[in-house]
Amino acid sequence: MKKLYGMRSAVVHGHAKIAEVNEYSPIAEQVLQDVIKWYLDKGISIGQPDTVAGKIDEDFVANVQL
């Protein structure tokens, strides 16, 4: 997660290495799928879609170790 968050920051700020982004893109996609599946499997009822998306985003960032 730390590596993915660091790469996200590099992309946002315009100094990402394209080869590295391409290498880690499938990993990032899998992490996102796993997070969404976890929420769906747990049947967590936390409200409207925007609330759910916000909760996933908060949990994703909260679990990043810098």
Separation of alpha carbons 40 and 42, rounded Å:
5
Question: Is the separation of the CB atoms in 53 and 59 below 8 Å?
Answer: no
The two three-digit tokens of residue 17, written as one number = 């290495």
DSSP characters over 41-52? HHT----SHHHH
Task: Express each pLDDT in 5-47 by its tens digit.
Answer: 788 888 888 888 888 888 888 888 888 888 777 777 666 665 6
CA 46 from centre of chain: 19
SS3 35: helix
Place of tokens 């879609």: 49
Report the pLDDT value the prediction gives residue 26, as an integer from 0 to 100: 87
Kindly list the domain boundaries of the chain, sorted by start residue.
2-62
